[in-house]
């Protein structure tokens, strides 16, 4: 689908717990024909360890960036995984200030409790290693971060990282820092999911992977006035990378382009 427009709207991209990495950069680049994509940053490790490690704070942080980049006009949001939760909270805050949420896209964010399939997890990890999207060193760093957080020693680990990275760049410390940030963000998302949510007077679009044992809406059906559901290829991680991105991109583009081409239609507001 050729969805390019002469003056595309701004689309704020909210990444998952891993942050704005190569996969999100590829997604942003893929959508450049239908929108001017602006990645939203999350609080850094020091900020999170200082007590600001909640989805609510991430949303406040995101709103500040959105207001600076686009102080007026209709807002379009697209969030993957954790970004779907943050996007919802951003919408809450912007609606309260009178802003119009023209598009809220949620990329496979589930807010229902899902059964852990350890075999699927192992298969996914092996697949990531085979496709060079992960290696043994990275997995080891992730294990260190998870175990440290489980024991409650994340602040100590951060100090060790800071000490060894002070004089020169240390690749291992840098990777552990990234993994530690991911674990803390994932933990914040898990806490957020356990809290009740209000129903927002807007339409949202859920792009969901095909999975068994969970409702089609992934729990979002009561969170919006209207919810469009679109099934995409791949799993929670691979839906935004090749080869699945090539097939999923037109679906995402079409949903965004509809809000732009029909910009004179009434929008859901508060």
Instruction: State pLDDT tens for residues 96-137.
Output: 999 999 999 999 999 998 766 555 555 555 555 555 556 667
The pTM (predicted TM-score) of the whole model is: 0.87
Alpha-carbon distance 43 to 49, whole Å? 10
Question: How far, in Å, CA of 93 to CA of 65, rounded?
Answer: 13
DSSP SS3 for 31: coil
Helices in 12-112 by DSSP H: which ranges? 22-30, 45-49, 55-69, 82-96
Over the stretch 9-34, which tens digit does the pLDDT of each residue have?
999 999 999 999 889 999 999 999 99
Domains of the chain plus CATH, in order, are 10-115+197-261 (3.40.50.1820), 118-190 (no CATH)
Lowest-confidence pick of 83-92, 151-160, 168-177, 251-260: 168-177
Beta carbons within 8 Å of 149's beta carbon, 6+ residues apart:
180, 183, 184, 187
Strand partners, 14: 79
Give the C-alpha separation, 80 to 102, whole Å: 18
Q: What is the pLDDT of residue 119?
A: 55
> Is the distance from CB of 158 to CB of 184 less than 8 angstroms?
no
How many percent of the chain have pLDDT more than 90? 70
Q: Which residues contact 216 (CB under 8 A, 6 or more apart)?
A: 208, 229
Give 129-158 pLDDT, tens digit per residue. 555 556 667 878 888 999 999 999 999 999
Q: How many CA atoms lie within 13 A of 169 on its CB side?
A: 2
What is the rounded average pLDDT of the residues 242-261? Answer: 93
């Amino acid at each position: 689908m050729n969805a390019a427009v002469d003056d595309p709207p701004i689309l704020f991209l909210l990444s998952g717990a891993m942050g704005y990495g190569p996969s999100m950069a590829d997604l942003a680049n893929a959508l450049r024909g239908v929108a001017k994509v602006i990645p939203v940053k999350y609080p850094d490790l020091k900020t999170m360890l200082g007590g600001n490690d909640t989805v609510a704070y991430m949303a406040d942080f995101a709103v500040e960036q959105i207001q600076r980049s686009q102080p007026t006009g209709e807002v379009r949001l697209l969030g993957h995984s954790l970004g779907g939760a943050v996007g919802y909270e951003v919408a809450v805050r912007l609606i309260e200030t009178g802003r119009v949420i023209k598009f809220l896209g949620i990329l496979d964010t589930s807010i229902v409790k899902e059964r852990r399939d350890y075999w699927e997890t192992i298969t996914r990890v092996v697949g990531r290693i085979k496709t060079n999207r992960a290696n043994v060193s990275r997995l080891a760093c992730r294990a260190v971060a998870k175990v440290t957080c489980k024991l409650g020693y994340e602040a100590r680990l951060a100090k060790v990282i800071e000490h060894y990275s002070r004089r020169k760049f240390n690749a291992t410390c840098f990777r552990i820092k990234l993994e530690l940030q991911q674990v803390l963000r994932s933990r914040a998302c898990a806490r957020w999911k356990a809290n009740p949510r209000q129903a927002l007077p807007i339409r949202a679009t859920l792009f969901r992977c095909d999975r068994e044992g969970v409702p089609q809406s992934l729990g979002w059906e009561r969170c919006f006035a209207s919810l469009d559901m679109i099934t995409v290829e791949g799993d929670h991680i691979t839906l935004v990378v090749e080869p699945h991105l090539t097939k999923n991109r037109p679906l995402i583009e079409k949903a965004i382009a509809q809000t732009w081409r029909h910009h004179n239609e009434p929008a859901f507001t508060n």
